[in-house]
């Protein structure tokens, strides 16, 4: 018998694995959250599976999303990244990861905890929704709007309310698995 999954999951093996093993599982590590936020920003205007299929290339191109290394990327490195066929070769998106790394470092070097900051928008614990259909799931919420504003104030970009909500779903800040999905009760 086949498992019941959320309706948005296609038949692609990479998508199935992402849904079953990654999406919606709470993540609390600051650097991992930084990486996920950067990847969500790369999705703007594209399908998530496009970024998912390029994730390993992004990890290699952006030093495993080490903000200390990324913040030092110069014009020469940016030009090299724009020639990398394994990532989305959009100057604004490439620059956003570098810019966000600098914002992340400024925030954490001031003694702040990036994970605690992000999780504060949901009160420190996942919001468990009870949607039976993908059509019920919002594209943004009050929490994602607040997160977006706060991140932009810190100098981040490609962090609009819709991107922030997709990020919140991906890292388990909200459980938006459909109630009949086998993953719903896992978290």
CA dist 49 and 60 (Å) reads 18
Both tokens of 150, joined, read: 């706060």
Q: Which of 2, 8, 15, 18 is catalytic?
A: 18
23 is catalytic: no
Among 8, 15, 21, 48, the active-site one is 48
Tell me whether residue 117 is exposed, middle or buried, using C-beta atoms within 10 angstroms of its C-beta: 0 to 12, 13 to 18, 19 or more.
Answer: middle
Which of these is catalytic: 15, 23, 40, 184?
40
Contacts of 24 (CB under 8 A, 6+ apart): 169, 170, 172, 174, 175, 176, 177, 183, 187
Active site residue 18: yes
* Active-site residue list: 18, 40, 48
């Amino acid at each position: 018998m086949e498992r019941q999954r959320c309706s948005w999951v296609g038949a692609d093996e990479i998508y199935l694995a992402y849904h079953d093993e990654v999406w919606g599982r709470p993540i609390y590590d600051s650097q991992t959250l930084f990486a996920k936020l950067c990847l969500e920003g790369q999705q703007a205007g594209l399908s998530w599976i496009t970024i998912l299929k390029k994730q390993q290339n992004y990890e290699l191109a952006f030093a495993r999303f080490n903000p200390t290394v990324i913040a030092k990327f110069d014009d020469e490195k940016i030009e090299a990244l724009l020639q990398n066929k394994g990532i989305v070769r959009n100057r604004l998106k490439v620059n956003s990861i570098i810019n966000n790394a600098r914002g992340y470092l400024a925030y954490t070097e001031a003694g702040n905890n990036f994970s605690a900051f992000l999780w504060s928008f949901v009160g420190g614990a996942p919001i468990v929704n009870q949607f039976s259909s993908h059509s019920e799931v919002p594209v943004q919420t009050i929490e994602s709007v607040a997160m977006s504003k706060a991140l932009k104030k810190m100098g981040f970009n490609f962090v609009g309310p819709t991107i922030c909500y997709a990020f919140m779903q991906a890292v388990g800040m909200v459980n938006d698995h459909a109630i009949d999905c086998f993953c719903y009760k896992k978290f």
